[in-house]
Amino acid sequence: MAEDFITQGNALFDKSATSYENYKLSGNMFVKALEADPSSYEAAWKASRSYGLYAYESKKKNTSTWKDDCKVYGKHGMKYGEKAIQLNADGVEGNYWYGVAVSDYADGVSVVTAIKEGLAEKTKNSFEKVYQINKMYDDGGTMKALGRYYFIMPWPMGDKKISLKYLTEFEKLFPDDPEGQVYLAETLIKTGSKSEARPLLKKAAASGDKYFSNLAKKLLDEIS
């Protein structure tokens, strides 16, 4: 029974490019799989991934409900990410998607609220574990995530120099990623390197990623 639900969830997830709603639907299937087999690490981390990506896409598409989606589905992603970590403490997938879900949740409720709820340190620890085991997982997403973490966290948790280290590493490995370009550019601007940020922003602005293209154009206007 659990395997049937996982198969259905995988099929829906694979259709997410046609409609991001399939992320949510696939998450529901993975939850059913976990209910049928509470020991299924695969079902747990895939539920976390699906709900986290649903929240992320809702934000990128600037839907009228994106903040609520990030709050609700980010929390769902956290729940199943935590379950995955309970089942396999060193699992790259569970730790990574738990961290992603917390980031989504923070977008919905604010970073300050997430910190007050004790989520910051847990998120950092999860991403650092992934970085140590397999930093190339999800196209190097953990490098980008850690770079962003140290950028947005207030002092003393935040550190722009550490942010720069992770994001520069990511950029060297994945030079055509608009999200990474924008995040690195933001960090460079804050550390006084606007001249280095401009070519990154111009590249992101010319990309096909509407969300990060618009962010890049806004930042270019601000530093012109």
Q: What is the pLDDT of residue 12?
A: 98
Q: Are residues 79 and 104 in the same domain?
A: yes
Q: Are residues 161 and 124 in the same domain?
A: no
Q: What is the pLDDT of residue 155?
A: 87
Q: How far apart, in Å, do the first and last CA atoms of the chain sit?
A: 58
Q: What is the pLDDT of residues 58-80, one digit of tens each?
A: 999 999 999 999 999 999 999 99
Q: Are residues 167 and 223 in the same domain?
A: yes
Helix residue ranges per DSSP H, 1-119: 2-14, 21-36, 41-60, 66-87, 92-109, 111-116
Q: Are residues 117 and 176 in the same domain?
A: no
Q: Are residues 120 and 15 in the same domain?
A: yes
Count CB atoms within 10 A of the CB of residue 218: 12
Q: What is the pLDDT of residue 151?
A: 96
Q: What is the CATH number of the domain that holds 54?
A: 1.25.40.10
Q: Which residue has the tokens 């079902």?
A: 43
Q: Are residues 148 and 127 in the same domain?
A: no
Q: What is the pLDDT of residue 224?
A: 83
Q: Are residues 92 and 201 in the same domain?
A: no
Using the 3D structure, point to which of 116, 134, 152 is the last residue of a domain.
Answer: 134
Q: What is the pLDDT of residue 169?
A: 98
Q: Contact, 31 vs 45, CB < 8 A?
A: no
Extract the residue ranges of the chain whose pLDDT is less than 70: none
Q: Contact, 108 vs 131, CB < 8 A?
A: no
Q: Are residues 80 and 162 in the same domain?
A: no
Q: What is the pLDDT of residue 72?
A: 98
Enter the DSSP assignment of 116.
Answer: H
Q: Are residues 68 and 170 in the same domain?
A: no
Whole-prediction pTM value? 0.95
Using the 3D structure, point to which of 91, 108, 134 is the last residue of a domain.
Answer: 134
**Domain range enclosing 157:** 143-224
Q: What is the CATH number of the domain that holds 185?
A: 1.25.40
Report how many domains make up the chain. 2
The DSSP line for 114-149 is HHHTT-HHHHHHHHHHHHHHHTTHHHHHHHHHHHHH
Q: Are residues 125 and 168 in the same domain?
A: no
Q: Are residues 6 and 102 in the same domain?
A: yes
Enter the DSSP assignment of 204.
Answer: H
Q: Which residue has the tokens 């981390």?
A: 45
Q: What is the pLDDT of residue 177?
A: 98
DSSP H or E run through 37: none
Using the 3D structure, point to which of 112, 134, 156 is the last residue of a domain.
Answer: 134
